[in-house]
Amino acid sequence: MGNKCLVWALLALTFMACKKDKPEPTPVLQEEVAIVEKPKEVYEFGFNLNDYTVKRDTIKKGDTFGVILEQNNIGYPKIFHIAEKAKDTFDIRRLQVGKPYTMLFSKDSIEVPESFIYQPTKEEYVVINFKDSIHAFKSRKPITYVEKTLSGVITSSISETLDEKGISAVLTNKLADDIYAWTIDFRRLQKGDRFKVIYTDKYIDDSIYGGIHDVKAAYFEHNKEPFYAFQFVTDSTKGIIDYFNHEAKNLRRAFLKSPIKFGRLSSRYNLKRRIAYYGYKIRPHRGTDFAAPVGTPIMATANGTVTASTRRGGNGKYVKIRHNATYETQYLHMSKRLVKVGQFVKQGDIIGRVGMTGNTGGPHVCYRFWKNGREVDPFKQKLPEAKPISDSLKFKFLEYIKPIKYKLDNIQFEPEIIEQEQAIITQANS
């Protein structure tokens, strides 16, 4: 029995030794195949930019179309030929300093220039293509409008409240000047006043922020009194848009308070004005002066038709507008007139720019207000409200605002949101 055990033990040791000496099999290495991802196609200005070498720059002082192309190895005979072919589409002399341009080159070692693209605005662009045949065209980048909502509580001013939220001052101007100019004095807002807004932001090419586009609806609670505002098109042929409250009452007056947005009232209408330069003799001032820097935009204070756009004597360059059978307005001392006789203008349209033409001691616009053919003081007139909504449109308006008002009413103010969140947390912990 003992010998048998010894034999089995020796056999086991021999087997283990053989197994240990047996070489391990060599693992078969699989060849790794590199997966090369195809570059994502990037389209801009109607081109697949992956097909080109792209160079971007801005127009600098001294740059001209010819200089830019010459710097990119295009000779003057060809530059002249390109300019001639493109002139019906775009005047190459109108390149503005600071505006961006893009050049597309062949994607090879030679890098031959093939296209010049100029952007006069964020949205518009001009393409001058000279790869094979020379041709030019104008186009616009796709625009996306995104609806957003906002609420806030006034602690000091509307501008500071919006600034704290990172919202553009454009929204402040729209609320104060375009919507509530005649119903709320934004200089006298009180702490605790609150507001809600439904507005749209503009995005160019889905990526470039183009700013606040417009305000669709607003609610302002001032001195505990609610003020609704809803945007509505009253005349699609003339592009007239007004704001009405929830009862279809127009929020604006027929006339703006001032023909300029940023400036100061420097001299009032005064028929007994005396001037030292003229020996303190009475020299009536039949206009209202608003001082502002040269070039400041001058707005039409109401809808109407241009009856004069000329230059004459002490008035300098001026524009006159007839609004209806009763009212006319006149805007004097312009540096530039931007409208023609017979042209229909809407309230707020830019009709010229502040200047110093005619008899004037400084840059300003002299605003003259005519009622039944006589010049009067606009600040002493009981100005009419804007044209009310027609009976045929009133029902349409009230139906149109129903879902908008519902959405506006359900926007919560920030303190209410915070209180709700705290209540949820308290309930979860209890």
CATH of 264-380 among 2.40.160.60, 1.10.3720.10, 2.70.70.10, 3.40.50.20: 2.70.70.10
Residue percentage of the chain with pLDDT more than 90: 47
- Residue 26: what pLDDT? 59
Q: Are 357 and 365 in contact (CB under 8 A)?
A: no
Q: Give the amino acid at 32.
A: E
pLDDT band at 33 (very low <50, low <70, confident <90, very high): low
Per the model's pLDDT, the better-predicted residue between 373 and 429 turns out to be 373
Min mean pLDDT across 104-113, 162-171, 348-357 is at 162-171
- For the segment 170-181, the average pLDDT, to the nearest whole number, is 85
The residue behind tokens 């009475």 is 282
Tokens of 154: 């006034």
Give the ranges where 133-257 is alpha helix by DSSP (H): 158-164, 169-173
Residue percentage of the chain with pLDDT more than 70: 84
- Residue 118: what pLDDT? 96
Angle formed at CA 372 by CA 371 and CA 377, multiple of 5 degrees: 20
Extended strands (E) in 280-363: 281-282, 288-291, 297-299, 304-312, 316-322, 327-337, 344-345, 350-354
Per the model's pLDDT, the better-predicted residue between 24 and 335 turns out to be 335
- Residue 220: what pLDDT? 93
- Residue 354: what pLDDT? 95
- For the segment 40-58, the average pLDDT, to the nearest whole number, is 91
10 Å CB burial of residue 357 (0-12, 13-18, 19+) is middle
Q: Give CA–CA dist 327/331, Å, rounded.
A: 14
pLDDT at 421 over 50: no
At 252 the three-state DSSP class reads: coil
Write the CATH number of the domain with boundaries 43-140.
Answer: 3.10.450.350
DSSP per-residue string spanning 65-129: HHHHHHHTT--HHHHHHHHHHHTTT--GGG--TT-EEEEEEESSSS--EEEEEE-SSSSEEEEEE
Alpha carbon distances (Å) from 23 to 11, 12, 18, 27, 387: 20, 19, 10, 12, 101
Share the mean pLDDT of the chain: 84
Give the ranges where 269-345 is alpha helix by DSSP (H): none
Range 114-121 contact pairs with CB under 8 angstroms and sequence separation of 24 or more: 114/52, 115/47, 115/52, 116/65, 116/68, 116/69, 117/45, 118/90, 120/94, 120/96
Q: Boundaries of CATH 2.70.70.10 in the chain?
A: 264-380
Per the model's pLDDT, the better-predicted residue between 27 and 101 turns out to be 101
Per-residue pLDDT of 293-348, as tens digits, reads 999 999 999 889 999 999 999 899 999 999 988 899 999 999 999 999 999 998 88
**Sign of the alpha-carbon dihedral angle for 401, 404, 409, 415:** negative
- For the segment 269-283, the average pLDDT, to the nearest whole number, is 58
Q: Give CA–CA dist 144/125, Å, rounded.
A: 17
Min mean pLDDT across 254-258, 283-287, 355-359 is at 283-287
- Residue 25: what pLDDT? 60
Per-residue pLDDT of 164-174, as tens digits, reads 888 888 898 88
The residue behind tokens 């934004």 is 186
Residues 6 or more apart in contact with residue 370 via CB below 8 angstroms: 327, 328, 329, 330, 376
Domain 143-244 has CATH 3.40.640.10: no
- For the segment 201-216, the average pLDDT, to the nearest whole number, is 89
Q: Boundaries of CATH 3.10.450.350 in the chain?
A: 43-140, 143-244
